[in-house]
A and B are shown apart, each in its own frame.
Chain A
Amino acid sequence: MSETLFEGLETQAILSLDPVVTGQVLCVYLDKGVLKDAVKRLDEAGYYIEDVMGVDVAEGFELHYHFCLFQDGPTRITLKVQVPHDDPTVPTISDIYPGAQWHERETRDFYYITFEGIANDSPILLAADMADAAPLRKAEGAHKSYLDLAPPYEILQSEDEHPLIKLAADREQAAKEAAEKAEAERKAAEEAAAKKAAEEAAAKEAEAKEAEA
């Protein structure tokens, strides 16, 4: 099973996701220090690299590494690493997956994140004199927290007091309240309908009596 892949690694959180809703089966939050160990495990397990993408969130830059297996069934695993805005460096994984190099260079172009140890870090999509243009960095005030963007998930394991635990509890509470509210509304509607029906029946009866008289 895919979640046992990361046993013994110091992950921040491992989330199980619904592939029908999110297109992913597993999402692993990691510190950049254990990123390479996690990627090595995926390499040994036969995963191929799908892509690397950056997201600029309030907490910093979040890097998403997507991996899949060459087999049938949903297999996508996402590794997520957050680095602070004032120190955007992360180790390269291109020594493990050479295909990651272009994706990392692209991310560097878009966010000006440094991938430490990358063999070639020249701009890949942007022009040579736009190396630090960082067009996908969000403007001041436009940042959202990664917690506001999180898809529905179930925590398989996590560090104590990880913000995702609270978020999951809040969401559960909100869902419960919404369900209760919907249930109350349904009951109120039912009662109103029953009352209306009773009134109508009474009116008909009265009419029938009048006609008799």
Chain B
Amino acid sequence: MTQETVHNEPVVPGFDTGSVEYGDFYTRHFQEGPTENTLILNMGPQHPSTHGVLRIVLELEGEYIVRSEPVLGYIHRMHELMGEVKTASQYLPNMGRVDYLHALAWNWAHVGAVEKLAGIEVDERGELIRILVTELNRISSHLLWWGAYLLDLGAFTPIMYAFDDREEIMDMLQICTGSRLTYCYMRFGGVSHDINDEFVTRLTDFIPYFRKRLPMFKALVTDNIILRKRIEDIGIMDEEMCRRYGATGPVVRGAGVEYDVRRAEPYSLYPEMDFEVPTFPECDAMARYMVRMAEIEQSLKIIEQCLERLPSAAGKHLVKGAPKPTFKPPAGEAYFAVEASKGKVGFGLICDGGAKPYRVKLRAPSFCNLSLFSECAQGVLLADAVAILGSLDLVIPEIDR
């Protein structure tokens, strides 16, 4: 059955393609029948505000959305199958390509699940470096979201400022990880390389500089009346809705729920870190915006604590006796979650004692967060749909996996 996949007609139970000639499978599937007043519109897969290849089929009445349905899978890569045909170590580079904007969180989800299953402990130094780079990566992810979101909404200038600072972060992360975007830095038992003085010096200089930029961002954009009119009271997602759809991260914190995996299911040295979980109770796109802006400041705070502790941290960046590439995780089942910039990243791992895992499950926060879009977008203006989509901070490779 697995190989016989070539069909002339789409084979989907309960769906009769009939003799309809226009649109593709998804448009036809979406369309209930001809109506007098509504229009079926495809937004994407090539659309500036869908950031890559997300497609949404919309039924419009005038400028208002009657129904909508996201169509996914344009860059589906079957990461979960790759997890079963590669060894645990060979699978490491895949993680940087799931969410390329917060690659280190996915790195961590993978190594964390394997470490849980195999009972590997990481030295204090290794843990601190992990926290440091992951938080730095979180800032760069939020900066890109900030610039791109405002670009979606028609403001061109902010992305220039955002990319200016993001560039410096990428340069710094390149020093320790060796790559600019699709990081593969973490290893079972720590990280691949220790950080060096150049990285520490540049980071120490960057923090006060960047702190001074934040009020400027606020004055330039956050307090801007045009932005506020555009995203306040738009895209209401309350706690109950987040619960039914499994939305996490800034979406649920923008609904006033203090839920952060770093606090809820503490991992690494996060319990020893002093930081707040910012929440905003308004449930709208503005609340999600405010959560992310506040999180940037909290990440800076965590980074400073790491820098302070690193000189006296015990152990090495990679624990002594860390697994070799030929390592076989023991049989069993483990689920490990981390807080990424988009929300809760979950890594489900089932091993049978062989070199290759029996099953790998990737829980992508963008996938769950996007699933509530159809309900949320019902009855809103088409232009507001862009504001809602952007406020979810979607990364398409993560949705499609």
Interface residues of A (CB under 8 A from B): 19-24, 46-51, 53, 55-56, 64, 66, 70-76, 78, 97-99, 101-102, 110, 112, 114, 120-137, 144, 148-152
Contacts and interface: CB of A to CB of B under 8 A. Distances in A.
A40 to B, nearest CB: 13
Given A53-B361, A125-B76, 12 more contacts: A20-B116, A49-B244, A50-B363, A51-B348, A71-B259, A74-B265, A99-B246, A99-B372, A122-B29, A125-B72, A126-B76, A132-B4
Interface stretch (B77-85, B98-106, B284-292): B77-85
B81 A131 contact: no
25 contacts: A21-B116, A22-B116, A23-B335, A24-B335, A50-B363, A51-B246, A51-B348, A72-B264, A73-B265, A98-B375, A99-B245, A99-B371, A110-B80, A112-B1, A125-B72, A125-B76, A125-B400, A131-B10, A134-B2, A136-B80, A148-B331, A149-B332, A151-B332, A151-B333, A151-B334
B160 to A, nearest CB: 35
Nearest to A133: B5
B15 A122 contact: yes
B13 interface: yes
B242 A48 contact: yes
A98 B81 contact: no
Interface of A is mostly: loop
Contacts of A151: 332-334
Nearest to B243: A48
Interface of B: 1-2, 4-7, 9-15, 24-26, 29, 69, 72-73, 76, 78, 80-81, 84, 113, 116-117, 119, 239, 242-247, 252, 257, 259, 263-265, 331-337, 344, 346, 348, 350-353, 358-359, 361, 363, 367-368, 371-372, 375, 400-401
Contact of A22 (B247, B332, B363): B332
Contacts of B26: 122, 128
Given A102-B371, A110-B80, A22 B333 contact: yes
Nearest to B257: A70
B333 A150 contact: yes
B199 to A, nearest CB: 32
Contacts of B252: 70
A133 B78 CA distance: 12
B5 A101 contact: no
A53 B357 CA distance: 15
Contact of A53 (B119, B247, B359, B368): B359
Most buried by B among A48, A56, A101, A124: A48
A24 B334 CA distance: 8
Contact of B84 (A47, A132, A136): A136
B202 to A, nearest CB: 35
A135 B10 CA distance: 17
Nearest to A144: B352
Nearest to B337: A23
A99 B331 CA distance: 31
B221 to A, nearest CB: 30
A22 B400 contact: no
Nearest to B354: A144
Nearest to B264: A72
Contact of A127 (B73, B346, B368): B73
A73 B348 contact: no
Nearest to A96: B244
A-B pairs with the 3 shortest C-beta distances?
Answer: A99-B245, A23-B335, A128-B25
A186 B10 CA distance: 66
A139 to B, nearest CB: 8
Contacts of B372: 98-99
A151 B350 CA distance: 9
A149 to B, nearest CB: 5
Contacts of A128: 10, 12, 24-26
B116 A23 contact: yes
B381 to A, nearest CB: 23
Contacts of A152: 332
A176 B388 CA distance: 58
Contacts of A114: 13
Contact of A129 (B5, B84, B257, B353): B5
Contacts of B368: 51, 99, 102
